[in-house]
Chains A and B, each alone.
Chain A
Amino acid sequence: GAGVSQTPSNKVTEKGKYVELRCDPISGHTALYWYRQSLGQGPEFLIYFQGTGAADDSGLPNDRFFAVRPEGSVSTLKIQRTERGDSAVYLCASRPGQNTGELFFGEGSRLTVL
Chain B
Amino acid sequence: GESVGLHLPTLSVQEGDNSIINCAYSNSASDYFIWYKQESGKGPQFIIDIRSNMDKRQGQRVTVLLNKTVKHLSLQIAATQPGDSAVYFCAENSGTYKYIFGTGTRLKVLA
Contacts and interface: CB of A to CB of B under 8 A. Distances in A.
Contact of B97 (A43, A55, A105): A55
A56 B96 contact: yes
B2 to A, nearest CB: 7
B2 A101 contact: no
Nearest to B46: A102
A42 B101 contact: yes
A33 B43 CA distance: 13
Interface string A29-54: 00101010101111111001010000
B4 A37 contact: yes
A25 interface: no
Contacts of B46: 102-104
Interface string B82-111: 000000010001001111111110000000
Main secondary structure of the interface of A (DSSP, over half): strand
B8 interface: yes
A55 B97 CA distance: 9
Nearest to B93: A101
Interface residues of A, number: 31
Interface in A9-43: 31, 33, 35, 37, 39-43
Contact of B32 (A48, A89, A101, A110): A101
Nearest to A41: B103
B12 interface: no
A108 B39 CA distance: 12
A59 B58 CA distance: 32
B77 to A, nearest CB: 19
B103 A56 contact: no
A89 to B, nearest CB: 8
Given A50-B97, A103-B99, 5 more contacts: A55-B97, A56-B98, A101-B32, A102-B34, A105-B45
13 contacts: A4-B43, A39-B7, A40-B4, A42-B89, A42-B101, A43-B44, A45-B98, A55-B96, A56-B97, A91-B43, A101-B99, A107-B41, A110-B1
Q: Which 4 A-B pairs have the closest CB atoms?
A: A105-B43, A42-B101, A40-B7, A102-B46
